[in-house]
Structure 1
Amino acid sequence: MTPRFPFSILACVALTLGSLMGPASAWWDAGHMQIAYVAYKKLDAPIKDKVDVLLRLNPDYQKWTAGIADSKTAKLHAFIHAATWADDIKTKEYNYTRDKVDSPTAGQNIGYSDKNQHAFWHYKDLNWTPDGTPLPPPDAVDLVTQLNLMIAALPASSGASDDVRSYDLVWILHLVGDAHQPLHGSGRYTRQIPDGDAGGNAEQVIRATGELVALHAYWDSVFGGYVSPAGAVFDADARDGLASLAVNEVAAKVADPQKWIDESAELAKQYAYAAPVSLGRNPVLLTRDYETNARNIAHSQAALAAARLANLINNALR
């Protein structure tokens, strides 16, 4: 029998955590920032200058670099901050519209004049079922469709305006990380959750600490929540940190976002939905093995994302 905690007590904990962390988004700030930092270290020196020219067009650039006198540090911090911008625009401060995947503007790529959140750009759910539950058709617009558009527009030779290329760069910094979070590539449909679990958002899990969170949020939180760029650098450079992880060079050269999502979906089936996660919404207490595997997979995926992100930018801006 799977051990359980009283739901009423844990629900209060979950509400508290939800108010602190905000909307679920892959890896949360700490993960995205560490991925960006490790990728930045792999960029060619001339590419770093080209990247900074584009990032200066983002309306938040001055905020990202405020109080930093050293130009090299300012460029690094701007790059790290930019990796969270696609999540930042979901907050009330930006007043961006929460649009829908079937809206006429869902698949547009028009630069900073676009004031839509495009939450559906952050994932591509490869819908599946372990028990024959009917599956809906896939969305027409998703992480892969948009990432392909943005990658094509990023080179100076693309003919896209610098405004669009800057906008696309900050989204690319974020979406490459998203694509490597296993639950950003999976939508599971079961008899208990016939409308789909939205990438693990419908299931509840209990950490060893007793905290109750959505399965998706559990995976997002592996690297922690909010952190400063300096904190992300410190964590990534720490012993056994993200910067120290070896990455298979052949895998790092895989440049097709659809293949990234395919990989993530398989990892979700193998690890994110592994026992003791159930087929329903009932909270389950995670085991030591589950949590250890989740941390290992998250770190290896993030390191791979950083390598692929660096290759993408080096190739596009060379």
Structure 2
Amino acid sequence: MRAKALLLILGIGLGAPPALAWNGAGHRISASIAWNRLSAPARQQVSRLLQAHPDLARWQRQQKHYGSLEQSRALFIEASTWADDIRHDSRYHDNDAETLSDTPDMMARHRDWHYENLPLTPGRGGPEERAPQRGQLTIRIKQLSAQLADRRLGDPERAYALVWLIHLVGDIHQPLHVVSRYDEEGNPDAGGNDQSVIDPANNRRPETSLHTYWDDLPGPSRLRGNQLLDAAQLMDSDIQHTPQKTVAAWRQESLQLARTRVYPGIDSNLVPVLDERYSRQAKAVADRRLVEAGRRLAGLLNRIWGK
């Protein structure tokens, strides 16, 4: 408790702003892996829809990092972070807690699409069982998939669904985007955002949140270009079989990983120091989840447009 108090005095810990999902590098890595596994019809449709998206120019500005790489692939990779990028774009607005709608507001940030707050330890009749479950991650992936496959919709609506889908498939594979640990009063830790940890390997900022630590496992958020493409190719070649499964199963995998790999050893009353063993295992989990997200995104798009 003394360590936690010290961190709070220093202005870090629970007062830190909420983290996003995988950082930019993570989403781009998964998108790069997905592109390599898209069928020719899927690539053609994806490329056409990206041209119809109103924020196309945002991604075109980043093409300089990719040299002679095929334009459509570079745009697909850069579009993967759009759902996080609009959080800081004044053209978009925050919205109140939503109900499921077939016509979502296309200028809203939809912050509750990125996560779900499932209880870390269910089935005990504790306060976490009575707490309201927030977040729409799973159901929005299903809805956006149906929207993308609906040929009655115009290209702008389907392009909107595509770009959200690229991002949210990455989100659901980050274990801390489907779970929260609840205290005795039923208050969630916001997917580890309110749990401080110390990472000795981070010389610049060792004190961080558990959520941010996991978000940053893919590498520097600014990672682009050949370094990113090489990292994605290496990770994809290292990981062997990854079953496609259902969206609900993807969520269950992340929930189980949170229970067995993320939270064990993390005492909510302390600011734990993450040792080398924890970091090594976390990195292995993150790499596999990024590869699974990329392969499964490709599988989803290939099913929509034919293999």
Q: TM-score range by the shorter chain?
A: 0.7 to 0.9
Query: Does 2:228 correspond to 1:224?
Result: no
Aligned to 2:195: 203
Compute the displacement of 1:6 (Å). Answer: 8.3
> What is the match of residue 118 of structure 1?
110
The CA deviation at 1:10 is 8.9
Aligned sequence identity (%): 31
Aligned equivalent of 1:266, options 256, 266, 289: 256
**8 A Cα contact 1:127 1:138, kept in partner:** no
> Aligned with 2:127: secondary structure?
coil
Name the aligned partner's letter for residue 78 of structure 1.
L
Q: 1:310 to 1:80 in 2, by over 3 A?
A: same
Report if aligned partners of 2:120, 2:255 keep a CA contact under 8 Å in 1.
Answer: no
- SS of residue matched to 2:208: strand
In the alignment, is the contact (CA less than 8 A) between 2:37 and 2:295 conserved in 1? Answer: yes
Match of 1:257 in 2: 247
Q: How does 1:142-157 map to 2 (within 5 A)?
A: 142-157=136-151
Normalising by structure 1, what TM-score?
A: 0.84
Of the candidates 142, 154, 158, which is equivalent to residue 161 of structure 1? 154
Matches of 2:146 and 2:7 in 1, distance apart?
49
The farther-off stretch of 199-208 and 132-141 is 132-141
Instruction: Please report how far the alpha carbon of residue 245 of structure 1 lies from its aligned counterpart in structure 2 after TM superposition.
Output: 2.5
Aligned residues: 298
C-alpha displacement of 1:142: 0.4
Query: Are residues 228 and 8 of structure 1, via their aligned partners in 2, closer, same or farther at CA, if it must alter by over 3 Å?
Result: closer
Where does residue 98 of structure 1 map in the other structure? 94
For CA contacts below 8 A with separation 6 or more, give which structure has more relative contact order: 2
What displacement does 1:123 show?
A: 1.1
| Counterparts in 2 of 1:11 and 1:264: CA distance versus 1, 3 Å | farther
On the 8 A contact 1:10/1:212 being kept in 2, the answer is no
Change (3 A) 1:70 1:53: farther
CA RMSD of aligned residues (A): 2.9
Q: Which amino acid aligns with 2:232?
A: A
For structure 1, the residue ranges without an aligned partner over 5 or more in a row are: none
1:84-106 CA distance string (max 9 Å, x none): 00001111x344222232x4xx4
1:5 is displaced (CA, Å) by: 8.7
Structure 2 gap ranges (5+): none
1:4, 1:285 within 8 Å by CA — same for their partners in 2?
Answer: no
2:247 partner letter: P
Q: Secondary structure at the match of 2:96?
A: coil
Q: Decide whether aligned partners of structure 1 residues 114 and 172 sit closer, same or farther in structure 2, where only a CA change above 3 A counts.
A: same
* Residues 230-251 of structure 1: CA deviation (Å, up to 9, x unaligned): 14213323xxx323232424x1
Q: 1: distance between equivalents of 2:45 and 2:165?
A: 15
Q: Secondary structure at the match of 2:70?
A: helix
1:185 match? 178
Q: In the alignment, what sits opposite 1:279?
A: 268
166 and 272 in structure 1: CA distance in 2 versus 1, 3 angstrom threshold: same
